[in-house]
Chains A and B, each alone.
Chain A
Amino acid sequence: MFGHKIVLGMATTALLGSCSMMMGMGGTTYTFKHNPNAADPAAMGKAVAIRKDTMVSTTLTVSGLTPNKAYIAHYHAFGPASSTDPCASNGPVTLGFPSFTSDASGNASVTVSGDPAKIAGDMGAYINVHYASEPSVVPICAPVKMTKG
């Protein structure tokens, strides 16, 4: 949803609809929110998606993680469990970030580049960060598309 609009440098009202999202020439920013669980309570961060030629490059910058811990992160499609809360919808992974480990301060940054078609529309509804060892633990999630369809 962000690709062509970034190339044209146009901010549309549709894109301003989500409070977690900001757009400019530097790409589209999605803000991570803490999920309702006790994992990594101070975890926070953002995802910045930038269109580069035919690819979209997304960089997560996260802090407050458990130091030196392995994590996995993904773009997910809108799942079956909710139509209005992408982060609670349990959708399939559409684009995976390389797995990563937080540093000694609990910070991490990871980038994935992928075909925009993989995360277009409902295919890219949210980005989340899981414990690699126990992927059902998802400390933070950034909504990308707020409603299904």
Chain B
Amino acid sequence: MFRRVLISPLILSSFMLTPASAATLQLFPFKALGTAGGVSGQLSVRTLSPTQSVSTLTLRGLTPGRAYAAHYHALGKASAEPCASQGPITLGFPAFKANARGQATILLRADPARIAGTLGAYVNVHTASDLTVVPLCAALVKTGAARGTPVAADSVTVKVGDNLFQPASLSVPAGTMVTWIHTGQITHNVLSLTVADLKSPDLRPGDRYSYTFKTPGTYTYYCSYHDGMSATITVTNR
């Protein structure tokens, strides 16, 4: 059931930026709102400690050179759908401009308490010149509203080093394709005691292996060659 795939350098680079640790990582896709075509992106929230988190926006398809603003918002009362709820701003990302290719990567360090629960219900991206123009929004909290067709599968990467997986703990929505990328020097593998088809061949430097997690649950995987080389992926409902 696994497929070997190529991951675009753009997606890879967004993960290389995140610091290495046994932290938890959550990923949320941005949805394009309104008529802006071709805009997309991802929000990653890495919790480093009870008092430290790093949120990273990785955006593409923006207007090249244009100034934007992005904010965390609390859940508002206007809708059960976070992105339509018109909640107050709880935390702002640094102001940024899209590069010449319409891409931007923005980091925000924050106390997780400031964006916990419905305080960080959604992140939206506004044009700086007109804050009512909101091309992108990512919902962090679940909605009571019925969801339409599931969003296209996102992809996430895990680094396979000597001798550890990074991140060691990862949370992704069901349907996410996880790609392990060998960034070390010696051979490793990715195996599971409980999921028969989560099973890589021997991975050597630069090799990749992908598996799509369809069912919510907690999955522990390991390398059969190294002591203590195991990690966990939690698959949540979409």
Contacts and interface: CB of A to CB of B under 8 A. Distances in A.
Interface of A: 72, 74, 76-77, 79-80, 90-93, 95-96, 130, 133-136
Given A133-B186, A134-B187, A136-B202, A93 B226 contact: yes
Interface stretch (B65-73, B165-173, B174-182, B190-198): B190-198
The size class of the interface chain B forms with chain A is 10 to 19
B228 A96 contact: yes
Given A80-B196, A134-B187, A135-B186, A91 B228 contact: no
A90 B191 CA distance: 8
Interface string B189-230: 101110010010010000000000000000000101111111
Contacts of B188: 135
Q: Which 6 A-B pairs have the closest CB atoms?
A: A96-B227, A135-B225, A92-B222, A93-B227, A136-B187, A90-B224
B228 A93 contact: yes
A80 B199 contact: yes
Contacts of A79: 191, 193, 224
A132 B221 CA distance: 21
Contact of B193 (A80, A95, A133, A136): A80
A76 B230 CA distance: 13
Query: Considering residues B187, B199, B224, B229, which has the most beta carbons from chain A within 10 angstroms of its beta carbon?
Result: B224
A136 B225 contact: yes
Given A79-B193, A134-B187, A136-B187, A91 B224 contact: yes
Given A79-B191, A80-B196, A134-B186, 7 more contacts: A72-B226, A90-B191, A91-B224, A92-B230, A93-B222, A93-B228, A95-B227
A77 B189 CA distance: 16
A72 B188 CA distance: 14
A118 to B, nearest CB: 11
Contacts of B229: 93
Contacts of A77: 193
Contact of B224 (A92, A95, A133, A134): A92
B178 to A, nearest CB: 18
Interface in B76-91: none
B191 A135 contact: no
Nearest to A90: B224
Query: Considering residues A76, A77, A92, A96, which has the most beta carbons from chain B within 10 angstroms of its beta carbon?
Result: A92
B193 A92 contact: yes
Contacts of B199: 80
Interface string B25-38: 00000000000000
